[in-house]
Amino acid sequence: MNYLASVGSYAIMIREVFKKPTKWRIMKSLIYKEIDELIFSSLGIIIFISFFIGAVVAIQTALNLTNPLIPRNLIGFATRQSVILEFAPTFVSIIMAGKVGSYITSSIGTMRVTEQIDALEVMGVNSLNYLVFPKIIAMLFYPFAIAISMYVGIFGGWMAGVFGGFLTSEDFVTGLQSDFVPFHITYAFVKTLIFAFVIATIPSFHGFYMKGGALEVGKASTTSFVWTSVVIIILNYILTQLLLG
């Protein structure tokens, strides 16, 4: 019953976010700030993780190719498919749910605890629009981060495969280009956009409606990470079934 009430509150929150907009002059600067906080400041960790996961995928594939009849260029193919279809859009989104999500929950939760949200409301500001809308818009740039993740992940696979002596550069590129389905890119970016919305809004919901003090801010961050991850995993299944099934 509580879960159902939370879903209802979340839906009401989303409606409120798009009502009574803040002045564009102010909103513009808030959006720039959020792009910096949510996207640019996450690029380092995205690039780092993508590189090594791509490398590990290539090594794992190479080590499992024991049959001499299977061409080595499969390593390039497997790296591309894993990175584009799942690793970059889904795995990175789970990481972002932790990094960006906990930042969103704790920053909004702290504003709640210190009555800054009440101060906005008293002034007549639509606090949900002021706080959450810029985050949603900033997360529209998330697909660019995922595009970088895809590129770096595949590059990591190439580095590990070629310099680890598992295959030649030509084999890797041949595998990379074989059986390429352009719709897989569309599928990956549709998922990314939906996950971006989830990463911006579920942590905001947990921060905005939290009750209590500093300890509860920490608890709300943990809860928001768990729920954002759960929703991403479920949506990943549903979207895969709908778009590729």
Count interface residues toward another protein (CB under 8 A).
16
Judge contact between 50 and 92, C-beta under 8 A: yes
Give min distance, CB of 3 to another protein, in A. Answer: 19
Judge contact between 35 and 141, C-beta under 8 A: yes
Residue indicated by tokens 């709908």: 242
Q: What is the DSSP string of 90-132?
A: IIHHHHHHHHHHHHHHHHHHHHHHTTHHHHHHHHT--HHHHHH
27 binds another protein (CB under 8 A): no
118 binds another protein (CB under 8 A): yes
Cα separation of 220 and 102, whole Å? 8
Q: Which of 115, 178, 183, 234 binds another protein (CB under 8 A)?
A: 115
Give min distance, CB of 137 to another protein, in A. Answer: 18
Q: Return the range that interacts with another protein (CB under 8 A); candidates 16-24, 193-201, 227-235, 236-244.
A: 16-24
Q: Which of 3, 5, 24, 25 binds another protein (CB under 8 A)?
A: 25
Cα separation of 92 and 107, whole Å? 22
The helix (run of H) or strand (run of E) holding residue 199 is helix 182-208
Judge contact between 39 and 134, C-beta under 8 A: no
23 binds another protein (CB under 8 A): yes
15 binds another protein (CB under 8 A): no
Q: 126 vs 192, which CB is nearer to another protein?
A: 126
Q: Which residues bind another protein (CB under 8 A)?
A: 20, 22-23, 25-26, 110, 114-116, 118-119, 121-125
